[in-house]
Structure 1
Amino acid sequence: MVDENISWRLKRLLNSWEVLPANEISHTDKITDKAIWQHAKLNKLIILTFDEDFVELQNLYGHPPKIIWLRMGNVNTKDIAIKLLQLQKTIAAFLEDEQYGVIEVY
């Protein structure tokens, strides 16, 4: 799940992302962080976000869901896509590892 603070255009830019096929990426809009958290947990989804609130929810409730926490500052959508594509192997390993619930992307 892509948090509402990230452009829906990211999905189009991640067409070659092997970690998650573009057709499996959904974008949230105008729902609360808690509702996103619960939906992701129930549906075994991953949250892609700039929002620290999801990390705080994970500190309270554990994981799943797993979180890809973008700590890149104010960057454009293309730069986010480039960084995610560069880190495909690292992110794939994170998603496979049951021990960790959050990965920070700088």
Structure 2
Amino acid sequence: MKLLIDQNLSHRLVKPLQEQFPGTEQVRRLGLTDRRDTTIWEHARQHNFVILTQDEDFFDLSALRGAPPKVILLRTGNLPSVEVLELLRSHLLMIYTLLAPESEVNCLELT
């Protein structure tokens, strides 16, 4: 499972997340910064990404369109990157289980 980190989260998350989520990227690094959410959604769908975001619009897209892609929605407010990493690592089992391809969960909210 690889993550597509939305522009509202730091590109500095890419490297430390590679071990748990190989192939992870960030929208700025892919030149998708000025794109609409639906364009980012479609890119994630075509390239088998799970979207990592704080943007509730992706939650809405998930409810409307279903998966793929699946979404991890952080409902934490702004956190330093190190705390985002800690949050994700502390929920690894749940992330892997609930966002596995065979799971019917489309959006996982973390607080």
- Asked if these proteins are the same fold (TM beyond 0.5), I'd say yes
The answer to whether the 8 Å contact 1:50/1:71 transfers is: yes
Shift in alpha-carbon separation, 1:38–1:16, aligned structure 2, 3 A: closer
2:78 maps to a residue whose letter is: N
The amino acid of 1:32's aligned partner reads R
Counterpart CA distance in 1 for 2:11 and 2:76 is: 18
Q: Which residue of 1 aligns with 2:67?
A: 63
TM-score (norm 2): 0.85
SS of the aligned residue for 2:99 comes to helix
Cα shift at 1:59: 1.6
What percentage of residue pairs aligned between the two structures are identical? 33
Deviation at 1:52, TM superposition (A): 0.3
Distance 2:84 2:92 in 1: 12
Compare relative contact order (CA 8 Å, sep 6+) and give the higher one, 1 or 2: 1
User: Following the alignment from structure 2 to structure 1, what is the Cα–Cα distance between the partners of residues 26 and 12?
Assistant: 10
Report the equivalent of 1:102. 107
Please tell me whether the aligned partners of residues 40 and 65 of structure 1 are also in contact (alpha carbons under 8 angstroms): yes
Segments ≥4 residues shifted beyond 3 Å: none
Residue of 72, 86, 91 corresponding to 1:87: 91
Superposition deviation, residue 15 in structure 1: 4.5
Q: What code does the residue aligned with 2:15 have? A: R
User: Could you tell me which residue of structure 1 aligns to residue 80 of structure 2?
Assistant: 76
Cα distance in structure 1, aligned partners of 2:17 and 2:63 = 29
Residue 9 in structure 1 maps to residue 8 in structure 2: no
Where 2:44 maps in the other structure, the secondary structure is helix
Q: Considering fraction of residues, name the structure with more strand.
A: 2
Any stretches of 5+ residues in structure 2 without a counterpart? none
The worse-fitting range, judged by mean Cα deviation, of 90-99 and 51-60 is 90-99
Helix, strand or coil for the counterpart of 1:69? strand
CA distance in 2, matches of 1:76, 1:54: 21
In structure 2, C-alpha distance between the alignment counterparts of 1:14 and 1:44, rounded to whole Å: 16
Count of residue pairs brought into register by the alignment: 102
The answer as to whether partners of 2:51 and 2:69 remain within 8 angstroms in 1 is: yes
